[in-house]
Chains A and B, each alone.
Chain A
Amino acid sequence: MGTTVTHAPALEGLTEDSGPPSGPARLVKPPELKRRLRRENLAGYLFMSPWIAGFLLLTAGPMVASLYFAFTDYNLFDPPKWIGLDNFSEMFGDPRWRHSVKVTLWYVVVGTPLKLLAALGVALLLAQKRRGQAFYRAAFYAPSLIGASVSIAIVWKAIFSDDAVVDQTQQFFGIDAGGWTGDPELIIYSLVALTVWQFGAPMVIFLAGLKQVPRELYEAAEMDGAGTWRRFWNITLPMISPVLFFNVLLETIHSFQIFSSAYIVGGGAGGNACGPADGSMVYTCYLYVQGFENSRMGLASAMAWLLLIAVALVTAVLFWSQKKWVHYEEGAR
């Protein structure tokens, strides 16, 4: 057994044998090097294999299976029965399904812009130099670190329940609504509030974007007499538009996938899993009900694939629209 390990072959190959990767006089690879490269690749794949195995077993495999189930009647116990497009036609005919689509779209269309506005607004405030800046950044970022957890959803439910903090505050101002989480109309607002509160992640990205805007642009604009609003509108916004696009894309996709907060705030353990009178029944919530409560895995798979297609379409539209409003610096595209 070798005891004189000095360095790995990968390093050796790069430093001694190969020249610059794209020099004008590129050396023809000697067979020895080829062999080494092949061995390196092999080692690389071997190291990656846990991930590859995980991907194939836990992601790709189930996806293929679920695509198949989407066209079957499958209750987990009996073998899946091929029914073609019946799951899809059942969905479109189901008023609960249509309701869930409506609730989800509402949540995405209202929640996402509000969250991004909050993120951008706070990022603009925090981009300026001031005392305790690091503390503020951490404080505003913290909710999105813990925000996705079940415990926060439980806290949220408690805050917005009957006779809890929010209800009492309302009562102080003479509005007796009796808590948000029991009201089919109001519960969705508490979910929007929850997502807006978690604006930390897009905020950090906005902050990074704001730091990239060249100072001299502002200086030049100021000399030309442009006011704050004008500078924001004509310099900041176009300059951070790639970052804005990134955030819009990510948060939209994220919003479509809302589940745990809706499931917990909307009931979870007691009775209806999707809020009072389906008030917070977002798409994934109904998918969960069909799959795990009604044991209709075929239908649930079909729903999942439809969601995937819908999100892909929305993403495609956003990518198409970016040509009109996202400004990349020359050559940065």
Chain B
Amino acid sequence: MGTTRNVERRTILKAAGATAATLGLAATTGCGGDSGSSSDGTVTIRYAWWGADDRAKRINQTIALFEKKYPKIKVKTDFQPYTDFWKKFNTQASGGNPPDVFQNAIGFLRKYDSKNVLLDLSAQVKAGNLSMDGFRAGLDKFGEVDGKLLGVPVGSNSMALVIDQPVYTRSGVTPKQGWTWNDFHAAMLKIHQKTGRAGDSGMYGVMYLYDLYLRQNGKAFFTTDGLGFTEADLKDWWTKAEQGLEQGEFADAKKVAQVKPKSAVAAELAAGEFTWDNFTIRYTSEGKSQYRLAPIPTTDGKKTGQYLGSLMLSASKRTKHPKEVAQFINFMVHDPEVAKIMGYDRGIPATQAQYDAFKPTDEVNKSIAAYEESLVASGVLEPITPHPSGADICESAFLRIAEELALGTRSVDDAVKQFFTESKTALTA
């Protein structure tokens, strides 16, 4: 055997080895996170949510707690901001590799159910791995679609008017339960005149608020399979928006666009904003002022059209560990310690046990609790129907087109037409 031969064979072997290694590497990275069981029976599940760093810190603490109580289950986590979260989720889910358990919301239940992504958790309830007892205010029904349990609520929140309290005080405006839209518009103008600040950050693009307005008038944004309002309704809403913009009632859309993702209220462009009540916590960390909650204006002085919204935990239909996933969700929604760690970060805890476990001591959280209690007590709450598939695209189109209207690149008629065209595509796709 000559030396050259030997060298050559080795060269080839090395090359082959390198190739195999590269391919192997590509294969493992291609598959991404491995959720599986190891030889000692330990199971790893993947948990994904959207949110910011503060939420991540709290969630990691709850997971440490969970892993201590369930030593055979390991939890791997992943988080993104809201919009990026769904892009990544879509890609993972379509590649057959979604996280085992993930944060979810009402706008996505039907969408992902129709795409066969969501696990019906009712089997796990029957098996005793997940309890649906002890939920507050009918929240246990929140994640049910067509008789399937597709999500378990972790907290409840409601639309509210988050206000910069000192600015309201300086203007002499005191919002009261049952105030009307006319009262509201007068108040916005008063704030603008007295303080120079716009009263509101631009409510015309907030889909969830428009939904309330429609409900006050006997309609709704979505029916189970489409839009629940007409072009004339929307034209009315956006014409008022245009007038409000001209009068300084709403903040300059150019400036609002530039402070994103910071809110216009925290950036001191507007005295208030319609959003979910638990956002008060975020605004408090973003801004310098004191932020409080005010009631939603009404049409008839009584009905606000409000319902409880909620973040949920859903499981993937493809998970290899439905039992462990159910145990995880069960722990997250029922364990009192979890509530103490999470606070009202994802809304008011959904179960009575967790609700009782966390009693806020700071003003912001206290006002959120008081706000929701007043809603339950006043009996204004209505049930909500899960949004149709494609609702998320309608929502972003609504926001975008309203912004274009505010920036002056679209007329009201044009904006209404564009929204209906895009919604039709989204809801039939």
Contact = CB atoms under 8 A, between A and B. Distances in A.
Interface stretch (A43-51, A208-216, A320-328): A43-51
A294 interface: yes
B19 A46 contact: yes
Interface stretch (A134-142, A195-203, A263-271, A307-315): A263-271
B64 interface: no
Contacts of B8: 9, 39, 43
Nearest to A278: B404
Given A9-B8, A162-B254, A162-B255, A272 B3 contact: no
Nearest to B19: A49
Contacts of A46: 12, 15-16, 19
Interface size class, chain A:
35 or more
Interface stretch (B81-89, B172-180, B296-304): B81-89
B11 A271 contact: no
A293 B395 CA distance: 12
B252 interface: yes
Contacts of B86: 293
A327 B420 CA distance: 56
Interface residues of B, number: 51
Interface in B1-16: 1-8, 11-12, 15-16
A293 B258 contact: no
Contact of B19 (A50, A293, A296): A50
B288 interface: no
A2 B6 CA distance: 6
A277 B404 contact: yes
Interface string A254-288: 00000000000001011111001110000000000
Contact of A77 (B12, B16, B84, B115): B115
Nearest to B6: A2
Contacts of A296: 429
A89 interface: no
Contacts of A184: 404, 407, 409
Interface string A50-78: 10011001100000000000000101111
Given A162-B255, A277-B409, A269 B26 contact: no
A270 B19 contact: no
A96 B275 CA distance: 28
Given A46-B19, A53-B22, A271-B400, A182 B91 contact: no
Nearest to A39: B8
A178 B252 contact: yes
A106 interface: no
B407 A269 contact: no
A179 B6 CA distance: 70
Contacts of B255: 162, 178-179, 182
Contacts of A272: 396, 399-400, 403
A77 B399 contact: no
A6 B4 CA distance: 9
B260 A267 contact: yes
Contact of A76 (B15, B90, B252): B90
Contacts of A50: 18-19, 22-23
Nearest to A183: B254
Contacts of B252: 178
A42 B15 CA distance: 10
Contact of A75 (B12, B87, B418, B429): B429
B209 to A, nearest CB: 15
B257 interface: yes
Contacts of B281: none
Contacts of B427: none
A5 interface: yes
Q: Name the 9 nearest CB pairs between A and B, nearest first.
A: A270-B260, A76-B94, A2-B6, A46-B15, A182-B258, A77-B115, A182-B254, A182-B257, A50-B22
18 contacts: A2-B1, A5-B7, A12-B4, A46-B15, A47-B15, A50-B18, A53-B19, A76-B93, A77-B116, A161-B259, A178-B254, A182-B256, A184-B409, A269-B84, A277-B404, A293-B396, A294-B429, A296-B429
